[in-house]
Structure 1
């Protein structure tokens, strides 16, 4: 009897893990290869499927500057769901103190306060542009922010504040996190681990449609060591629902 129960349990677990996302979502990663994705030319297998996850070691050998992994398809309005985890940090990165309005805290002399901190860095490019990147990193402000818009001083103050996370909802390095990213028109909402960190933020000028990318960052320096904030990262359970 116990054997029957164990077999039934095993079949149930297998069927659940192999199931499609449901609720109108379509899987973007089959866990076996990069079908549906476009690796940079000359990457030489550094973006790869490994034990059911999409793994990256920050060492793409692509000759150009674009070492990111892109979807083959373009998307307009959508909700993207995925799990991600930073495998480890590399080096110390001079992190600023980001204030709720998106600016950086200054000391008594008007200079940015920078704290050397272990870091890793990646993100999700939306609609084909790096400026519209939902960041993944170890900064105290937390993942989910849109650095390209927050740092653009030509943007209205409400835009820069809107793309600044309302809280740090990240789990420690090495643990899995879950993003739900909704892009509708020029409005972005990001839920991280069940907490809404970006709420209907405006991204002025973002293209109406475009591909999604998983970001490369860092790599090996001239000294042979991994540079600070390299993209040592994994993704899994990637699915999308077009709106």
Structure 2
């Protein structure tokens, strides 16, 4: 009986953890139309058929999210026809995707040029796979792409195929670290296709603790998205930032002070809502009660007074 109870508890925690992670993913494709996506080319390269995003017209326009992302976990399922040729473009400007971003390859095993640097799961032409994925055509596979500041990890069917530290890859030195996500249109012959479904994303830059860690990055390229994300999160970010006021890192301290000031300035602007101002004030009050470091307390008190003053 005790063993059964223990197993039940473990299962409950496992299901709870899975459920929590699942809730953090949002769908990027509604299965009905291409809302939230854009095709900048003259010839559409994608359409929706029976709830599936299909790239069939040969060399039509690639498709991109209208929203841009920096740090995230991107998941989708794909099916390639016998000689299907597509790809996923990450952190790119859709007007110049290959110059600004990187392609994660999706390629059927039909060409003699499909080496480890250009096969499914590779960062095409930049980083080869270290674990070749199953490339069987005509069946659904799942791909996960994790962009975590300077680290990019690609998995296929639950197995990691590629890991890359972009700071160590010379050809990726000037690539963007924020941008749209796109799918490449059918780059094979007419009649071939690539199909996509269950397209979702977990935006790490909406999670305060993840964003907080970005303030410690030595490279300003990775701090900048963290600062922007903190401003977007708003009041829920104040307590994590207040904790950084006592951090040993001068870079983290300086960034936290600036963003805290900016959050208070936004909340007290003439066009700001009273609810936003109240939320910021309450978060500052709570942070102040939990603060034991003198200089940090003084800074928080000063910010709090700003929220109490009349506009």
Alignment partner of 1:238 is 2:199: yes
Q: Which residue of the other structure, out of 181, 185, 205, is the alignment partner of 2:145?
A: 181
In the alignment, what sits opposite 2:32? Answer: 32
TM-score, with normalisation over the residues of structure 1?
Answer: 0.62
Structure 2 gap segments, 5+ residues each: 1-20, 167-171, 205-311
More RCO (CA 8 Å, sep 6+):
1
Alpha carbons of 1:30 and 1:232: their partners in 2 closer, same or farther (altered >3 Å)?
Answer: same
TM-score, with normalisation over the residues of structure 2?
Answer: 0.49
Alignment partner of 1:69 is 2:63: yes
Pairing 1:139-150 to 2, within 5 Å after superposition: 139=114, 141=116, 142-149=119-126
In the alignment, what sits opposite 1:193? Answer: 157
Q: Paired residues, what number?
A: 167
In the alignment, what sits opposite 2:105? Answer: 135
Matches of 1:218 and 1:180, distance apart in 2:
22
Matches of 1:55 and 1:176, distance apart in 2:
13
**TM-fit CA distance, 1:231:** 6.4
**TM-fit CA distance, 1:60:** 5.3
Matches of 2:184 and 2:81, distance apart in 1:
15
**TM-fit CA distance, 1:199:** 2.1
Structure 1 gap segments, 5+ residues each: 1-20, 62-66, 90-119, 150-162, 221-225
**TM-fit CA distance, 1:88:** 2.7
| Larger Rg belongs to | 2
* Matched position secondary structure for 1:22: helix
**TM-fit CA distance, 1:216:** 2.2
CA contact (8 A) 2:56 2:193 kept: yes
CA contact (8 A) 1:47 1:60 kept: no
Query: Which one has the bigger helix percentage?
Result: 2
Pairing 1:86-125 to 2, within 5 Å after superposition: 86-89=80-83, 120-125=84-89
Q: Deviations over 1:38-69 (max 9, x none)?
A: 0234335x4111111100113355xxxxx210
Alpha carbons of 1:231 and 1:71: their partners in 2 closer, same or farther (altered >3 Å)?
Answer: farther
* Matched position secondary structure for 1:198: strand
CA RMSD of aligned residues (A): 2.4
Alpha carbons of 1:207 and 1:29: their partners in 2 closer, same or farther (altered >3 Å)?
Answer: same
Matches of 2:175 and 2:133, distance apart in 1:
26
In the alignment, what sits opposite 2:211? Answer: none
In the alignment, what sits opposite 1:92? Answer: none
Q: Deviations over 1:69-120 (max 9, x none)?
A: 011111111110000010231xxxxxxxxxxxxxxxxxxxxxxxxxxxxxx3
Alignment partner of 1:42 is 2:42: yes
Deviant stretches of 4+, over 4 Å: none
**TM-fit CA distance, 1:186:** 2.5
Q: Deviations over 1:4-31 (max 9, x none)?
A: xxxxxxxxxxxxxxxxx93311100011
Matches of 1:122 and 1:215, distance apart in 2:
5
